[in-house]
């Protein structure tokens, strides 16, 4: 589904859905490029998430040590 969206939006693909093409058949170049681009985007998003968690976790931990689980209710 993401591959189809990337193929149509970034590579101007107008053929059948990339996901509906038989696996034995040769994929159009636009579908292959979109698959590669989708994997790259997913990898970068996972890297960004990991880096943010690496830096934010100690901050949240120290805040939790200072404040604890004190409810204001």
Please say if the pLDDT value at position 73 is more than 60: no
Residue 18: pLDDT band with limits 50, 70, 90 = confident
List phi, psi (to 5°) of 21.
-80, 135
pLDDT at 24: 66
Vertex 44: Cα angle to 23 and 39 (nearest 5): 5
The model carries a pTM of: 0.71
Please say if the pLDDT value at position 13 is more than 80: yes
Q: What residue ranges do the domains of the chain occupy?
A: 2-67
List phi, psi (to 5°) of 24.
-75, -25
């Amino acid at each position: 589904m993401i591959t189809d969206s990337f193929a149509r939006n970034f590579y101007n693909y107008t053929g059948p859905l990339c996901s509906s093409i038989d696996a034995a058949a040769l994929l159009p170049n636009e579908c292959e490029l979109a698959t590669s681009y989708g994997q790259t985007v997913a990898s970068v998003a996972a890297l960004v998430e990991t880096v943010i968690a690496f830096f934010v976790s100690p901050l949240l931990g120290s805040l939790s040590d200072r404040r604890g689980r004190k409810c204001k209710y």
